[in-house]
Amino acid sequence: MNKHTLGPWTTKPEPMTGGTWEVLNSESLAVASVWPGELGADVVPANARLIAAAPDLLSALSGAVQWLGDLLAEEDPDGFVEAMQPLTDALVKATDIIHTPEDDIDWNGWLNEEVSS
């Protein structure tokens, strides 16, 4: 079973570390550190915010996949797989749990069972 640190996540600059930003869980424990590295300090805050948004984005994407899947399966079965593939690819990348659009998945239940536990 694939697990991740539950959200919400927040960000905080760490001025003593040369421009590093921390991504923190709800208990203010570090989930990730974002360093300037070769990209430079200008992108660090935005990258940290994007990482901090990951649990919310995963939840929103799961809900959108469920809603869109239900809608397309009824309205346009031929366009279902094409429309769903980028969404399910993103879920697979985020969770490393492999499903295809052809699978009849309750994505909200799957998210709660496989990802959030």
Whether residue 83 is found in the same domain as residue 35: no
What residues make up the domain containing 17? 10-52
Domain assignment present for residue 4? The answer is no
- Residue 4 near residue 111, CB atoms below 8 Å: no
Strands (E), the chain: 10-14, 20-24, 30-34
Domain co-membership, 15 together with 42: yes
What pLDDT, on a 0 to 100 scale, did the predictor assign at position 97?
63
Determine, yes or no, domain membership for 82.
yes
How far, in Å, are 16, 38, 45, 65, 91 from residue 81 at the CA level? Answer: 49, 39, 36, 12, 15
What confidence category does residue 114 fall into, taking pLDDT thresholds of 50, 70 and 90?
A: very low
**Cut 0.75: pTM above it:** no
| 44 domain-assigned | yes
The reply to whether 1 falls in a domain is no
Give the DSSP letter string of 6-23: -S--EEEEEGGGTSEEEE
Q: Based on the domain organization, do 20 and 37 belong to the same domain?
A: yes
Report how many domains make up the chain.
2
Do residues 48 and 15 share a domain? yes
Q: Are 14 and 44 members of one domain?
A: yes
| Claim to verify: residue 78 and residue 104 sit in the same structural domain | yes
In a domain, 65, yes or no: yes
115 — pLDDT class (breaks 50, 70, 90): very low
pLDDT at 103: 56
Mean pLDDT of 2-29: 90
Distance of alpha carbon 46 from alpha carbon 68, whole angstroms: 29
Say if residue 61's pLDDT is above 60.
yes
| Average pLDDT of the residues in 42-46 | 91
